[in-house]
A and B are shown apart, each in its own frame.
Chain A
Amino acid sequence: MRAFFQRIRDSVFRVGWPADERKALLAMRSSFLLHLHAPKVRPASLRLAATWGLGLLSLFLYGSLVLTGVYLMFYYIPHPDAAWRSMGDLEFVVPYGVVTRNLHRWGAHAMVAIVLLHLGRVYLTGGYKAPREANWVAGVGLAVLTLGLSFTGYLLPWDQLAFWAVTVGSKMVASVPVIGDAAALLLLGDQTVGEAALLRFYVLHCVVLPVALTGIVAFHLYRVRKDGGLVTSEHAPEPTEGPRLWPAWPHLIYRELALLAGMVALLLAASMLFNAPLEPLADPTRTPNPAKAPWYFLGIQELAHYSAFWGGVFIPAAAIGALIVLPYLDRRTAGLGRYWPPERRWANSVFLFFAAFFMVVTVVGTFFRGPAWALMWWPP
Chain B
Amino acid sequence: MGRRSFLRALGLSGAGVLLAQSAWATLRFARAPVSYGPPSKTTLGERGRFPRGAVTYAEAARVFVVHDDAGLGAMSAVCTHLGCTVRRDGEGFLCPCHGSRYNAKGEVTGGPAPRSLRYVQVEEDRRGRVVVDTDVEVDPDDRLKLG
What's the interface size class on A, roughly? 35 or more
Binary per-residue interface labels of chain B (43-65) against chain A in the complex, 1 for a CB within 8 Å, 0 otherwise = 00000000000000001101000
**Contact at B112–A308, with CB atoms within 8 Å?**
yes
Chain A residues 297-330 with CB under 8 Å of chain B are: 301, 304-308, 312
B32: which A residues are within 8 A, CB to CB? 189
Pick from A185, A194, A312, A374: contact of B38, CB below 8 A: A194
B59: which A residues are within 8 A, CB to CB? 285
**Contact at A288–B112, with CB atoms within 8 Å?**
no
The minimal Cβ–Cβ distance linking A137 to chain B, given in whole angstroms, is: 21
The minimal Cβ–Cβ distance linking A140 to chain B, given in whole angstroms, is: 22
**Contact at B98–A304, with CB atoms within 8 Å?**
yes
**Contact at B38–A373, with CB atoms within 8 Å?**
no
Binary per-residue interface labels of chain B (12-43) against chain A in the complex, 1 for a CB within 8 Å, 0 otherwise = 00000000000000010011100111100000
B109: which A residues are within 8 A, CB to CB? none
Binary per-residue interface labels of chain B (65-95) against chain A in the complex, 1 for a CB within 8 Å, 0 otherwise = 0000000000000000111111100000011
Chain A CB within 8 A of B99 CB = yes
Name which residue of chain A comes closest to B27, CB basis. A186
**Contact at A172–B36, with CB atoms within 8 Å?**
no
The count of chain B contact residues (Cβ–Cβ below 8 Å) is: 27
**Contact at B62–A284, with CB atoms within 8 Å?**
yes
Name which residue of chain A comes closest to B95, CB basis. A372
CA distance A186 to B28 in the complex (A): 9
**Contact at B96–A190, with CB atoms within 8 Å?**
no
Chain B CB within 8 A of A259 CB = no
B104: which A residues are within 8 A, CB to CB? none
**Contact at A373–B35, with CB atoms within 8 Å?**
no
Binary per-residue interface labels of chain A (272-308) against chain B in the complex, 1 for a CB within 8 Å, 0 otherwise = 0000000000001111111100000000010011111
CA distance A186 to B95 in the complex (A): 26
Chain A CB within 8 A of B97 CB = yes
Name which residue of chain B comes closest to A289, CB basis. B96
**Contact at A291–B97, with CB atoms within 8 Å?**
yes
CA distance A371 to B60 in the complex (A): 25
**A40-48, A97-105, A163-171, A347-355 - the one binding chain B:** A163-171
B37: which A residues are within 8 A, CB to CB? 190-192, 194-196
Pick from A172, A312, A374: contact of B99, CB below 8 A: A374
Binary per-residue interface labels of chain A (350-380) against chain B in the complex, 1 for a CB within 8 Å, 0 otherwise = 0000000000000000000001111000000
Instruction: List residues of chain B with CB under 8 Å of any chain A CB.
Output: 27, 30-32, 35-38, 59-60, 62, 81-87, 94-99, 111-112, 114
Provide a sorted-by-A list of 7 A–B residue pairs whose CB atoms are within 8 angstroms: A185-B31, A191-B37, A285-B85, A287-B87, A290-B97, A308-B114, A374-B99
Apart from A285-B59, A287-B87, what 12 extra A-B contacts exist at CB < 8 Å? Answer: A171-B82, A186-B30, A189-B32, A189-B36, A192-B38, A194-B38, A196-B36, A308-B81, A308-B82, A372-B95, A372-B99, A373-B96
